[in-house]
Amino acid sequence: MPGAPKPQGGEGTPSAKRHDVVICGASFAGLTAARELTGSGADVIVLDRYEIGERPTSACGIPTDWLRALGLMEIELQRFPELVVHTPGGTIVLDLPYTFSTFNYGDMCELLARECDATFETATVTGRSTGEDGEITVETDRGPYTASLVVDALGWRRILAADKGFQPLDAPLTRALEVHPTGSSGDLEVWVDRRYVPAGYGWSFPAGEEVRVGVCSYDPYSHVRDGTDLLAADLEHEQVRYQGNWIPHRLRPATEEGVFFAGDSAGQCLALTAEGIRTALYFGIAAGRELRAVFEGWQTRDEAATRYAEFCESHRRGFGVLLFVQRLIPWIPPRLLAPLFRIYRTRRLVNLTFDAYLRVAPPDFADDGSAHDEEGPGKQQRDAEQPLRAERDFVKAE
């Protein structure tokens, strides 16, 4: 395997170099797109304002099978076969049809990057322009980068959009904040409780020697600092190492004027649960595969854009159902939550809904067939059931 992308460019080194592909954003979506292009011979550059894996903004919970499919089981910190749901009327334990795992953001980014033969440069992307020949120029604080194939994997800001992306608060954005105290637990827990947030939920995701405790609000106007502090205090955790960000909860166009958007920049985070890692990985892979086919001469950029847009569009129903339930939850009287979750707990219902939920972005899409030698509870379960397989500004504002 080629080595990790090589940081290049010193202070004030403008680059006007032309590349085959410019990928903006070196997180889940951007790195998987770059990984798909590895070995194609394309000259790929990945731009990010920070070093790879430097700034986590996530509790990093993911279906275990996604780690397995990417060949990244070594970064798994903890694995959970159950989800513990707390409501004002009681606690319900859901026996899940597949497990979830936690990992460290930096570990995943580092391993994904190591499997890329792209070049990496730190640069802050500010915008783009498209020439008459279709060539796209990405503007950055380190100068312009040009390519005919460009990916915006820059997160919710969607900086390469013609309309300059979203501006909170009048946008379909969920607000999320968490603390990372030292501690341990064996349970993956969520709280659907208006004491913490009027519309949204709280969580506790244990990850080795720390616990990630946070709150998200589907209403961007509703602050989450007090709810996060209250939940951490109730769990007797220190309120330290805050990190948070906006999370989109509605799909946005996946392509625009030759630019491919993947992950949060295309609104590809699942509403209701705010799970956006596996979808960013999934659509990053999809975008990378389309671009690779262009580079290898199988299709034109326009054909790739049409195919990618259609692929993304074909997921609208799954995303829409989750958005519908997200909008419904605040209308359910709190006293009804526990009885409803008790009805829902039925094994068939949980399996049906969680399997459908996983199928929105299934792990076998990423599977290259090389990552299935791992033993342990996950393997036994798979064999038995055959499942598909801070921002600093934000924290300050809170």
Ligand X SMILES: Cc1cc2nc3c(=O)[nH]c(=O)nc-3n(C[C@H](O)[C@H](O)[C@H](O)COP(=O)(O)OP(=O)(O)OC[C@H]3O[C@@H](n4cnc5c(N)ncnc54)[C@H](O)[C@@H]3O)c2cc1C
> Cβ 385 to ligand X, closest distance in Å?
22
176 is a contact residue toward ligand X (CB under 6 A): yes
CA distances from 160 to 77, 143, 193 (A): 35, 15, 37
Amino acid letter, 97: P
Select 320 or 339, whichever has its Cβ closest to ligand X: 320
Scanning the structure block, which residue is given the tokens 């847009």? Answer: 309
For residue 144, the surrounding DSSP H or E stretch is none
251 is a contact residue toward ligand X (CB under 6 A): no
Select 149 or 361, whichever has its Cβ closest to ligand X: 361
Q: Nearest CA to 18 among 124, 181, 133?
A: 133
Where in 55-114 is the site for ligand X (CB under 6 A)? 55, 57-62
Residue 388 preceded by cis peptide, ω within 30: no
How far, in Å, CA of 245 to CA of 59, rounded?
A: 11
By rule CB under 6 A, what count of residues binds ligand X?
Answer: 41
178 is a contact residue toward ligand X (CB under 6 A): yes
| Chain residue whose CB lies nearest ligand X | 276
Among 136, 277, 294, 312, binds ligand X (CB under 6 A): 277
Select 141 or 302, whichever has its Cβ closest to ligand X: 141
CA 396, distance to chain mean position in Å, is 22
> Cβ 268 to ligand X, closest distance in Å?
7
210 is a contact residue toward ligand X (CB under 6 A): no
What is the CB neighbour count within 10 angstroms for residue 374?
A: 15
Q: Would you give the binding string for ligand X spanning residues 145-164, x where CB under 6 A is met?
A: --------xxx-x-x-----
What is the CB neighbour count within 10 angstroms for residue 134?
A: 12
How far, in Å, CA of 76 to CA of 74, rounded?
A: 6
Select 329 or 395, whichever has its Cβ closest to ligand X: 395
Specify the stretch interacting with ligand X by CB under 6 A; choose among 68-76, 170-178, 318-326, 363-371: 170-178
CA distances from 264 to 165, 245, 268, 271 (A): 11, 11, 5, 11
What does the chain come to in residues?
A: 398
> Cβ 340 to ligand X, closest distance in Å?
24
124 is a contact residue toward ligand X (CB under 6 A): yes
Q: Are 264 and 27 in contact (CB under 8 A)?
A: no
Among 23, 26, 149, 304, binds ligand X (CB under 6 A): 26
| Residues near ligand X, by CB under 6 A | 25-30, 47-50, 55, 57-62, 124-125, 153-155, 157, 159, 176-178, 205, 214, 244-245, 247, 263-264, 269, 274-278, 280
